[in-house]
């Protein structure tokens, strides 16, 4: 599964009910005067480059131009930071919403909503009023960017729309050798398509590459240290940045953690357990009223498993000529996206009622929202391709089908509903054409300012223990815990979390390690 921001619930609600859901930030305002970030002594000037060859990139001045409600600019970065060549430079698309109080402005707050492959520009465009509390938006320019290979920043394009439909519709829990071979064919199509589209770019889409781009962006907005909000995969990007540039760390919050030392198998196993926990919470809520899956939590959980089996055997009509059948692949995407936010559980229940009656339309609309797919065909952005282009470079996996058979068995022992699905989901990483020179590794960020790590106890996509794992690795970090449901915590209507993070950004008050909300 992709790791997705809480804001995805806005998209799924629009797809399922043609309504725009705007999550309200219940952050308390912080009446104290803002306190500017204090730079550590000995830090080079904001535009100082790590190497002389990178100096021209660090000396850039962004040419901001109006683009709707935002201001937009282009940032030039080298394809290969180790060997810059202007003839192969990439363009990173950047957007901002300026601080409301420019006289007391504290700097820029760079944001990344996750994925990998989610658009930071879309995140700022759609959530400028809900990213942080009112005081954060008052004193910081909100800056979103599309990382290299993503959305509008030299996007990787691995499959055409019909091929991507086939990839996502494929049986994600193969039961026979023939079904395994079909899944392998789709995995190779994704891997080969990415390499064919841009054989040089595909070598340079690692998280470390994106983190180095982010340091050039930090310099371009004129900040000596990075102020940053990373959600979901954005925590991987943020912690990688902190390890590469520890003295550049300003006020950094990592919410819904993906630790950089996770292997591909650990990522899949952890997400399987996370979705199982979230599914249990959902069915416990579902049976309080008219639940289409069963009258008790145990019966409803079995009902969901049975439903997936039934759809695998007999797909449902969707009413969409471009994707006429709701397969198990599409059905699982539709269920999964609603588990990211408990506010979407009622939408899922209604969709399952329709599906149980033989109509897969609403569940397909949820799946479309997950994949960034337009009903009727076509995709907005390239999240479902760039997620593999980044993850498979960072975390290679086995090319042998037997490895995934074992993953499926092991994961299913801990997560019966989602284990096989998450096990086989990593198959493209087993046949990926290039490997990163780094791979999974711990990060420590020695000498950094305090980093705030946030974890949610029943997060489906980034399990709580991963937040503790990263906090323990980092040399200078604190953990804020939210005892609740859904993916990520900050800005999701919990005033305890929101107030603590707002105060950190605006006054520099580091939350107490172990704060539980």
Supply 123's token pair. Answer: 């995140």
C-alpha Rg value of the chain to the nearest Å:
22
Closest among 496, 493, 442 to 470, alpha carbons compared: 442
How many helical (H) and strand (E) elements, i.e. helices and strands, does the chain have? Answer: 19, 12
Supply 101's token pair. Answer: 């109080």
Round to whole Å and give the CA distance between 339 and 348. Answer: 8
Contact 453, 442 (CB under 8 A): no
Other Cβ atoms less than 10 A from the Cβ of 130: the count is 20
Contact 183, 424 (CB under 8 A): yes
Q: CB under 8 Å to 319, separation ≥6 — which residues?
A: 359, 361, 364
β-pair partners for 67: 70
**Hey, which residues are catalytic here?**
232, 459, 487
Closest among 240, 183, 221 to 436, alpha carbons compared: 240
Round to whole Å and give the CA distance between 468 and 454. Answer: 9
β-pair partners for 451: 252, 477
Q: CA dihedral in degrees (478, 483, 484, 488; nearest 10)?
A: 0
Say if strands 477-485 and 515-516 run parallel, antiparallel, or are unpaired.
parallel
Max intra-chain CA distance, the chain: 67
Contact 155, 386 (CB under 8 A): yes
Q: Quick one: DSSP state of residue 287?
A: T
* Cα of 337 vs its chain's centroid, Å: 12
Round to whole Å and give the CA distance between 389 and 190. Answer: 9
Specify the DSSP element, H or E, that contains 119: none
Say if strands 477-485 and 249-255 run parallel, antiparallel, or are unpaired.
unpaired
């Amino acid at each position: 599964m992709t790791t997705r921001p809480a804001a995805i619930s806005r998209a799924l609600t629009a797809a399922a009910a043609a309504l725009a859901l705007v999550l309200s930030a219940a952050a308390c305002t912080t009446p104290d005067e803002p306190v500017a970030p204090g730079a550590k002594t000995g830090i080079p000037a904001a535009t100082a480059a790590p190497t002389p060859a990178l100096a021209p990139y660090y000396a850039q001045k962004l040419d901001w131009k109006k683009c709707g409600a935002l201001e937009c600019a282009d940032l030039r970065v080298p394809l290969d930071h180790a060997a810059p060549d202007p003839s192969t430079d990439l363009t990173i698309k950047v957007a901002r919403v300026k601080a409301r109080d420019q006289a007391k402005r504290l700097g820029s707050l760079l944001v990344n909503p996750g994925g990998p492959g989610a658009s930071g520009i879309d995140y700022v465009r759609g959530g400028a009023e809900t990213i942080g509390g009112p005081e954060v938006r008052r004193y910081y320019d909100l800056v979103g960017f599309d990382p290299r290979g993503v959305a509008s920043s030299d996007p990787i394009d691995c499959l055409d729309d019909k091929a991507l439909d086939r990839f996502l519709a494929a049986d994600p829990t193969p039961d026979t050798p023939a079904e395994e071979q079909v899944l392998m064919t789709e995995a190779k199509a994704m891997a080969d398509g990415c390499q064919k589209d841009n054989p040089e770019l595909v070598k340079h889409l690692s998280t470390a590459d994106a983190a180095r781009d982010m340091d050039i962006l930090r310099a371009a907005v004129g900040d000596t240290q990075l102020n940053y909000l990373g959600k979901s995969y954005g925590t991987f990007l943020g912690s990688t940045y902190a390890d590469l540039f520890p003295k550049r760390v300003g006020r950094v919050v990592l919410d819904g953690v993906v630790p950089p030392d996770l292997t591909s198998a650990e990522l899949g196993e952890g997400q399987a357990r996370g979705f199982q926990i979230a599914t249990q919470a959902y069915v416990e809520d579902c049976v309080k009223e008219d639940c289409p899956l069963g009258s008790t939590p145990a019966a409803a959980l079995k009902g969901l498993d049975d439903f997936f089996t039934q759809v695998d055997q007999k797909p449902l009509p969707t009413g969409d000529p471009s994707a006429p059948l709701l397969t198990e692949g599409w059905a699982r995407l539709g269920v999964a996206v609603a588990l990211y936010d408990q506010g979407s559980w009622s939408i899922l229940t209604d969709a399952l009622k329709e599906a149980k009656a033989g109509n897969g339309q609403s569940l397909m609309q949820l799946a479309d929202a997950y994949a960034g797919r337009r009903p009727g065909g076509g995709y907005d952005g390239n999240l479902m391709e760039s997620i593999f282009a980044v993850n498979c470079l960072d975390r290679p996996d086995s090319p042998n089908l037997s490895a995934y058979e074992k993953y499926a068995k092991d994961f299913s022992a801990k997560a019966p509903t989602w284990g096989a699905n998450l096990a086989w989901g990593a198959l493209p990483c087993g046949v990926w054409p290039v490997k990163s020179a780094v791979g999974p590794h711990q990060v420590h960020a020695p000498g950094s300012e305090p980093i705030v790590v946030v974890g949610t106890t029943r997060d489906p996509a980034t399990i709580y223990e991963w937040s503790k794992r990263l906090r323990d690795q980092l040399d200078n970090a604190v953990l804020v815990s939210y005892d609740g449901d859904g993916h990520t915590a900050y800005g999701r209507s919990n005033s305890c979390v929101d107030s603590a993070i707002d105060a950190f950004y605006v006054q520099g008050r580091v939350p107490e390690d172990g704060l539980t909300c």
